[in-house]
Amino acid sequence: MLKVLKSGFYTSIQDRGRFGQRTYGVPVSGAMDSYSSQFANTILGNSSDDAVLEITMTGPTLHFLEPTVISVSGAVMHPKLNGNPIKMNISIAIKANDILSFGRLNSGFRAYIAVKNGFLSTSVLGSRSMYKPITTTNRIIDNEILEYNKNLGHPQGPNAHVKYNTEIIEGDVLEMYKGPEFRRLSEESQKQLLETSVKVSKLNNRMAYQLEPILENNLKPILTGPVLPGTIQLTPSGQLIVLMRNCQTTGGYPRVLQLTEKAINSLSQKTTGNTLKFRLKES
């Protein structure tokens, strides 16, 4: 197990999410950037279902009480072990009483810490992903104890076959499909939607990212229909809302665009003020 000395800005346990529960209105949740979280798991030889810690903007300080092996992927936040810088995207041996901390956020917005065989919080409806009220809390807090299996395994050397793709962090083009209501927009609005650079507004979290600018439109609300992470809704007042991992399962705003999985991962690494371009993917 480990003790959380400082929780950081917003740190939560996430896995691949709750598959099969959306028919009961349960959001899928799961790691915002599935590429980076799975990369951290892969390095340790973990299963893709193993739970990781998702850290946001500022990292936590963690006191490991038992040996294990860890890896850190995603946003660059200068991880340190007992005060000494450690590399990201490799496996690192942890001894009892080691302390993991983070420095300044350099690029990206969310990083992932994997431990050998995953974190062992209670699984609810097939997932450990924190989402209140399905789980009792939304995120970890100071002094909380997090469980993992003690592991004396040795870290593996760098694997030439797995190289972290930094485009997830650095890329500023989001690939997307046309949404079900895209064709209801006037030709002019379609063009405007696809050609305007958009900016992440300060309203961005695990549920949704709001984008600027306002896009005037005359779309009518739809009969409430299914939505997924990556669905871009256009409200009557012209707000572009990108639904993210904790989004509701259904919605009544027109669904004008739909991000690819890769684009959701990329957007998860963006924060307030970052600018992005849209690019249609041939479906």
Partner 1 sequence: MIYDLQYSRFNDCSVLIEWPAVIDDVMLKSILNFKMVIENSYVKQNIEVITTYNSILVIYEVTIEDVNSELLKLKALNIQQNNYEIKEAPVWEIPVCYSGEFGMDLESYSKTINMSKPEIIKRHSETIYTVFFIGFLPGFLYLGGLDPQLFLDRKTHPNLNVKKGSVAIGGNQTGIYPQNSPGGWHIIGNSPIELFDSNQNPPCLINAGDRVKFVPVETLEYLDILNAVRTFQYQLKSSNTYA
Contact residues toward partner 1 (CB under 8 A) are 19-27, 124-126, 133-134, 177, 180, 222-226, 228, 230, 248-250, 258-261, 283
Nearer to partner 1, 68 or 258 (CB): 258
Separation CA 155–CA 116 (nearest Å): 10
Contacts of residue 87, Cβ cutoff 8 Å, sequence gap at least 6: none
Four-point Cα dihedral 197, 199, 200, 201, nearest 10: -140
Residue of 167, 138, 119 whose CA lies nearest to 265 = 167
The SS3 call for residue 23 is: helix
CB of 283 to partner 1, least distance (A): 5
Asked if 216 and 194 count as a contact pair (C-beta separation under 8 A), the reply is no
Nearer to partner 1, 194 or 228 (CB): 228
Nearer to partner 1, 18 or 110 (CB): 18
Residue of 107, 135, 99 whose CA lies nearest to 15 = 135
Nearer to partner 1, 65 or 134 (CB): 134
